[in-house]
Amino acid sequence: MAFINKLAHKLNFRFAYQQTKAFRPVLYPFQHHCIPNVRSYKMPSSSLDNTALQEKPKVSFKEKVVNSWKNNAKLLLKEIGDHLFGKDGKPVEVKLLEQTTVLWEFREPEDLQNWLVTSDVEIGGKSEAFLKLGPNNQTAFFYGVLNTEVPRDGEKVSSGYCALKSRSPKGAFGRQLSSDWSDFNTLHLRIRGDGRPWMLNIQSDTYFTHHQYDLYHYFLFTRGGPYWQDVKIPFSKFFMANKGKIQDQQYEIIPDKVVSLGFTLADMVDGPFQLEIDFIALCKDLAHKEKCAYELYKNTPM
């Protein structure tokens, strides 16, 4: 009986406030009389599906389950084969002795599907970024317009970034995999920029959840002009940061659990930008013995 009285009291309270026009937009934001100036924007990756229901192929629940199991079984068999016989069909002894390997090339439109383009549009900004194949379909061409105008929502205090990030490898049943770069110590890029400074980002899989925002960064300065630029960056030159803040206590990069590689432009200069990428590779520099170029403190320095 006490529960019924409490429920009736809540209903009466809600009914009373429904009659107050001042609280209607708060209680019922989706009705026709709500505030029309509420800030809204569409995520760049969430496009609307305008396909009519009659045009969509009808797939039964059983077919979806069967197709899902088939795809996951193929991925699982591929993982087992890579583990037993070597990745990409290469024997283990060959993988251990190779001095260089190409991670990404851009020769087909399908090669661009392994990359994700983001910008400050996700937080209400006005920057634009696009990715397409370059001239002669031999390179990746990342271009757009950077806009540092801060969204007028009363929450954001800065804006203006565009980023290109490789998709994390996925295994069977949606498991996140990682790449093993432990046989190499240098990142090799062949790029052609417009003179803007870029931030290279490497994300590694971590053992603890409070380290999930740890990223390893390196400032990449492009020359601009018509000439290509070959850049070799040792892993030891990457510094660790958490949510954009450089950490006093630095750690070596974890090369055997790399999840993604990315490029970020946030130099606070409005205007167009472009970055052309020929290939991204790894190489082993036997003359480079440095593990980390920065001080490794056991405790935070005072």
Mean pLDDT score, 189-207: 92
- Sequence-ordered list of residues with C-beta below 8 angstroms from that of 228, at least 6 positions apart, any chain: 190, 191, 192, 278
Calpha distance 217→214 (Å, rounded): 10
User: 3-state DSSP call for residue 219?
Assistant: strand
User: 3-state DSSP call for residue 15?
Assistant: helix
Mean pLDDT score, 169-187: 88
Confidence of residue 2 (pLDDT cuts 50, 70, 90): low
Window from 119-123, 176-180, 181-185, 271-275 with minimum mean pLDDT:
176-180
Q: Which helix (H) or strand (E) holds 3?
A: helix 2-18
| Per-residue model confidence as pLDDT tens digits over 34-51 | 333 333 334 444 344 444
| Per-residue model confidence as pLDDT tens digits over 104-163 | 999 999 999 999 999 999 999 999 999 999 988 899 999 999 999 999 888 888 899 999
Are 192 and 276 in contact, with CB atoms under 8 Å apart?
yes
Q: Which amino acid, residue 170?
A: K
Q: What share of the chain has pLDDT > 90, as a percent?
A: 42
Are 163 and 117 in contact, with CB atoms under 8 Å apart?
yes
User: 3-state DSSP call for residue 65?
Assistant: helix
Calpha distance 1→7 (Å, rounded): 10
**Predicted TM-score of the model (pTM):** 0.73
Q: Within a 10 A sphere around the Cβ of 239, how many other Cβ atoms?
A: 18
Please give the domain boundaries of the chain with CATH numbers for all domains: 1-36 (no CATH), 64-97 (no CATH), 100-283 (2.60.120.430)
pLDDT at 106: 94
Confidence of residue 99 (pLDDT cuts 50, 70, 90): confident
Mean pLDDT score, 15-26: 38
User: 3-state DSSP call for residue 144?
Assistant: strand
